[in-house]
Structure formats: structure tokens, C-alpha cells
Structure 1
Amino acid sequence: MRSADPLLLLTNVGIAEIFVLLILGGLLALMLTALVSCLRNPKLSSVHKLLWVTGIFLFPFLGSAIYLLVRPESREPGASRELPKS
């Protein structure tokens, strides 16, 4: 049995498949951003984190979007992300 040529396999991918992969990749990035933000937020209690993570997994797009829109700030508004110089 002949092995399939990898370049020939790539030519069978249409624009619709690429579009779907881009949408799914964006959804995955949105979901991971929301999860990391939720889990690293010190202002959320463990129960709230559990509820948000459950919501993000049950409703990936909607849960992630809602969390990112209504999440509490994790830092002071004027705080810098840079480490203080010693």
C-alpha cells in the first residue's frame, strides 16, 4: 500500500475548513484567556472560581465572553505590570 503524499493531503483542504479552524482557534484562545484570568484573579473566592470555570466549560463562547466583560479587576487601575527596580 502506498503512503499518501503530505503535500497532496494539504491540497484537499478548502477555504471552508480553514475558516472553521480559524474560528475554533479563536474560540480556544478566548476560552484559555478567560480560564487563566479567572484562575489567577486574587479577588475571586474559590467558589466563584469554580462557578466561572464550570460556566466557561459548559458554554465556551458565551461563558468566556461574559466573564471577560464582567470580571472584577485583578489589579489597581494605575498599577504597572513591570516589576519594581531594586
Structure 2
Amino acid sequence: MDCKKNTLEIKYPERIKALRQDNDLKQRQIARILGVAQTTYSQYELYKRPMPIECLMKLCDYYKVSADYILGFTNDK
């Protein structure tokens, strides 16, 4: 299976941004929760840097949504 960016529709950057905005949070607030710099978190939202699985797990727990939702496999939170 080819896992290059151009062969998959990458949804998590837009999903994590929407979740953050829907909760009226700033990037720095989420970065603090994840234990990363604000610039690093910004790169996750812009897909300039892939997000580690540990951060995905923390975001799922924080927002109370499934990983499938954040990754775009389902529209059900």
C-alpha cells in the first residue's frame, strides 16, 4: 500500500483546527496540553509536520472524539 501524502486524503489537519476553533481555543493552549511548542502545533494544523500518535491520542481524550473522526475515516465524533 502506498502511504504517500498525495495518494491519501489527509483530513486530520482540518479536523484538529476545526475542533480547536469550535472550542474557542488558541493554538498555544492546545500546544500546552500536548506538551509541544505552539509553532510545532501550528505545523500539525498546516500539515507541515506529521502529528505523532501520542498527540492524536491526547487530542482524542481531550475533545472526547474518536481517532477515526480526527483521521477522517468517519464523520461521527
- TM-score w.r.t. the length of structure 2 is 0.37
Bigger relative contact order (CA 8 A; separation at least 6)? 2
Larger radius of gyration: 1
| TM value normalised by structure 1 | 0.35
